[in-house]
Every structure is written in structure tokens, then in C-alpha cells.
């Protein structure tokens, strides 16, 4: 397995579209260390009746000076913290030490934006605060070798169903009001480093409206089945974003770059990552604000529903351009390449028409059966793509669906026209424990 060494910065910079010089983060010194009062192996029924650590963690965050960290540490055999929503502070890092787990409360009342809404299904959803909330907190972060567990697969207190069950029920209509692990708005120069995020009731991380977001050496895990809308990392309406050296296994998009109306979505680097079950390396489905200058390099996608995917529709579409995928290995993936201009469409078409152009896929190897979808919206919004050394190991097992597409170099064949077939050696590694 490749390790997180500074030497790996060289290929990161070579392909980078993030305009910053991104180096491996450093965990800051602690301003205060909090020790755990609970231990693993707890009786769940009693555990959730215990006094939460919310107030003392929040007090520590509020009192910490910028540039320092609040450290959560094991002590005396105790290694568990229990918390409801926390508000991150400018310049302050929350550090979860190795061997420590920060568990999210299962009490929906802790997360209510409006009384009694969290833990229900409503028309629009979004009735819950996140476990970790950042709004305009420049230079903050979440780091450490510990775990933050959203407990999405456990029963909501006062109900007989889990958060993920609620999400499944919402398929019949409406939207589930489930908390996310982290919602970060307008948080310039925010850092996630080495932390493990798991079992979020909804998206694990949503980042928007910021300039400078670094995700380095992070592990995100939720089940591939039965955990609806558990996206890994969703950055949007932001600039100068790097996601690198990370491992993502989810029930939805591993990464989904959002580009709704608002601030530009541009200058992204997605490099040296491993994806497992999930819905792919995605852009969309909101693209009406435009997305550009995105580079994806050194990526493995193993057993996902989708591989390289750009998705939108005529109710929220816009221009996606200048996107390059390089050195990608995809295996056992139902839709290894999926350009979808009619994604999850409902209602009447508007003037927000999707247009994907200047998209490049090079030095990419696809192993196993699957379907390749290459679709532009219409004659005025044709898909424009370049394929350079894209090889299919099993061309006879690949179905192709295309329309309104201008393609250069596309062919379903097992022999590269130029260069070498990507060996994919060392790319497929187990999800780290």
C-alpha cells in the first residue's frame, strides 16, 4: 500500500489544478485535552442515557486560541465520547486521538432546526443540524487517527427504525430529515486529516462556498447497501479543493462535486485515492452554476455501481468543462463511464440545460463487464470528449449507449493504440482497518 509520504507531493503538484501548493498537514498543539468518560463495549440502552460530552467539548472549542487544537483522548480504559451538534471555531482544530471514537447522539431532538422535525420525513428535508458544523470558520479542521461515528445504522431514539431506514422510507415521497457528520459553509482553508468518518445518517461531509479545502489521508466508510444518501465527500461552489491519499467506501457517491447556482466550482484536484462500493467519482447533479478546471489522477474504483460519472438534467444543468481524468483503474463496476444528461429527471424542462465539453479520459483501464453511457443533451449541447489510451480488458462484455456525442479516440478494445496499458499494479488495496 502506498504510504502518506511527502515524496508523493511531486505527482500531486504535477497534475494539480488546485492553485495552492498543498503539502501534508500537521496536527497542531493542543490548547486543552479532554479525556473520555465512557468505554467501548457499552450497553447501548444505558449509553444513550449517559450525559453527553457536548457541553464540555463545545466549551473547549469556544475557549481555544486560533492555531491550537482541542484533543479528545482515551484515559483509564475509557475511549468513547458521546455528543450532539458541535460548532467549530475559527482557526481551531478538533483532534480525535487514535483509539478514541466520537459517537453521535441518536436523539433527534439534539439536531432539530425546528422543533420535532429531525427524524421525520418532510417535503424538502434538511431539518437537522450536523454533528460538526462550521460557518465562516477560516483555518479550522478535524484531524487525528480516531473515529467519528454517525451511527446511521442504529435506531433513532424514540423510534423503531434506524436513520437509514428513514431514508429508505423517503423513497416513496418526501425527504428524510437526517443529520450529516459535517456541514462546512464558507470555511476557507479547512482541513480534514487522517480522521475516519463512518456510518453517517446522511452525507458524511458537505463543504460549500469556501476557498481552500484539503482532505488528506481520510477514511470514509458506510455500507454499500442499505445506507441511502451516505455520500463520502461533497464539495461544491468552492475553489482550490484537494482530496488526496484517501479511502472511501459508501452507499452513495464516493465524491460528488456540486455546482449549483452560486459561487464558482473550479480548481479541484482529486489524487491518489481508493474508492470501493458507492456511486462513483461524480460531478453533479447540480451543474447550473458551472464546473471547470477539475483534475482526477491516480484513482482506483473497485466494485462501485459507477466509475467516472458526470450527471445532471434540464432542471439543474449547466456547463461542465475542462475536466481531466488520468491514471484511473476501474474494475467490477456496472457503469465504468457514465455521462448522464437526464439524471433523476422530474418535472418540466427549463433553461438549465446540461452541457459537458472538453472532457478528457486518458491512461485508464477498465476490467470486467459494464455499460458505457455517453450522452449529450441535444444538438446544441453535445457531449465533447477525448479518449486517450483508454483500454477495456473485456470488450465483448461492454455495452455502449451514446447520443449527441462528439468523441475523439473512443473505441472499446483491449489493445492500446499508443503507450502502454495501465498495469494497475498496487492500485487495488483492501480498505484499511
In degrees and rounded to multiples of 5, residue 231 shows phi and psi of -50, 150
Query: CA-CA distance, 76 to 93, in Å (whole number)?
Result: 24
Q: Is the preceding peptide bond at 285 cis, omega within 30 degrees of 0? A: yes
**Strand 121-122 relative to strand 175-176: parallel, antiparallel, unpaired?**
antiparallel
Active site residue 245: no
Longest alpha-carbon distance in the chain: 68
Chain-centre distance of CA 72, in angstroms? 24
Active-site hit among 274, 279, 355, 381: 279
Residue 416, classed as helix, strand or coil, is coil
Residue 288 C-alpha from the chain's centroid: 20
SS3 245: coil
Q: How far apart are the first and last CA of the chain?
A: 13
Residue pair 89/58 in contact by the 8 Å Cβ criterion: no
The answer to whether the beta carbons of residues 276 and 304 sit under 8 Å apart is: yes
Residue of 149, 252, 253, 327 with catalytic role: 252
- CB-CB neighbours of 225 under 10 Å: 7
How far is CA 280 from each of CA 11, 98, 330, 374, rounded to the nearest angstrom?
23, 29, 10, 16
What CA–CA distance (Å, rounded) separates 267 from 293? 5
Catalytic-residue membership of 279: yes
Residue positions annotated with a catalytic role: 252, 279
Amino acid at each position: 500500500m502506498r504510504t502518506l509520504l511527502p515524496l508523493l507531493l511531486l505527482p500531486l503538484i504535477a497534475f494539480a489544478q488546485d492553485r495552492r501548493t498543498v503539502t501534508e498537514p500537521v496536527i497542531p498543539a493542543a490548547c486543552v485535552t479532554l479525556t473520555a468518560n465512557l468505554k467501548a463495549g457499552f450497553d447501548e440502552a444505558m449509553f444513550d442515557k449517559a450525559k453527553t460530552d457536548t457541553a464540555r467539548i463545545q466549551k473547549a472549542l469556544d475557549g481555544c486560541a486560533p492555531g491550537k487544537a482541542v484533543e479528545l483522548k482515551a484515559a483509564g480504559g475509557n475511549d468513547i465520547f458521546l455528543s450532539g451538534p458541535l460548532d467549530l471555531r475559527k482557526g481551531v482544530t478538533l483532534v480525535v486521538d487514535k483509539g478514541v471514537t466520537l459517537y453521535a447522539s441518536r436523539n433527534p431532538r439534539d439536531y432539530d432546526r425546528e422543533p420535532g422535525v429531525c427524524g421525520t420525513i418532510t417535503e424538502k428535508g434538511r431539518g437537522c443540524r450536523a454533528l460538526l458544523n462550521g460557518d465562516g470558520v477560516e483555518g479550522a479542521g478535524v484531524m487525528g487517527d480516531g473515529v467519528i461515528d454517525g451511527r446511521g445504522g442504529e435506531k433513532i431514539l424514540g423510534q423503531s427504525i434506524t436513520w437509514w431506514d428513514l431514508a429508505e422510507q423517503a423513497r416513496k415521497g418526501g425527504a428524510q430529515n437526517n443529520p450529516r457528520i459535517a456541514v462546512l459553509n464558507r470555511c476557507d482553508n479547512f482541513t480534514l486529516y487522517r480522521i475516519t468518518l463512518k456510518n453517517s445518517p446522511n452525507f458524511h461531509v458537505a463543504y460549500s462556498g469556501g476557498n481552500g479545502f484539503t482532505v488528506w489521508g481520510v477514511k470514509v466508510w458506510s455500507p454499500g447497501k442499505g445506507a441511502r444518501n451516505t455520500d463520502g465527500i461533497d464539495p461544491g461552489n468552492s475553489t482550490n479543493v484537494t482530496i488526496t491519499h484517501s479511502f472511501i467506501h459508501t452507499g452513495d457517491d464516493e465524491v460528488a462535486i456540486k455546482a449549483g447556482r452560486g459561487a464558482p466550482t473550479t480548481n479541484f484536484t482529486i489524487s491518489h485515492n481508493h474508492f470501493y462500493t458507492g456511486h462513483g467519482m461524480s460531478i453533479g447533479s447540480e451543474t447550473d452554476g458551472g464546473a471547470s478546471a477539475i483534475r482526477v489522477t491516480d484513482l482506483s474504483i473497485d466494485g462501485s455501481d459507477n466509475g467516472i460519472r458526470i450527471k445532471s438534467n434540464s432542471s439543474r444543468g449547466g456547463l461542465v468543462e475542462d475536466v481531466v481524468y488520468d491514471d484511473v483503474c476501474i474494475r467490477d463496476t456496472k457503469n465504468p463511464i457514465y455521462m448522464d444528461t437526464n439524471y433523476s429527471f422530474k418535472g418540466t424542462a427549463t433553461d438549465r440545460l446540461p452541457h459537458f465539453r472538453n472532457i478528457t479520459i486518458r491512461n485508464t483501464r477498465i476490467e470486467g463487464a459494464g455499460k458505457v453511457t455517453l450522452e449529450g443533451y441535444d444538438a446544441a449541447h453535445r457531449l465533447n470528449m477525448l479518449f486517450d489510451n483508454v483500454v477495456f480488458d473485456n470488450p465483448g462484455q461492454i455495452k455502449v449507449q451514446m447520443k449527441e456525442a462528439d468523441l475523439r479516440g473512443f473505441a472499446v478494445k483491449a489493445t492500446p493504440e499508443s503507450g502502454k496499458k495501465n498495469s494497475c499494479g498496487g492500485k487495488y488495496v483492501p480498505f484499511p482497518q
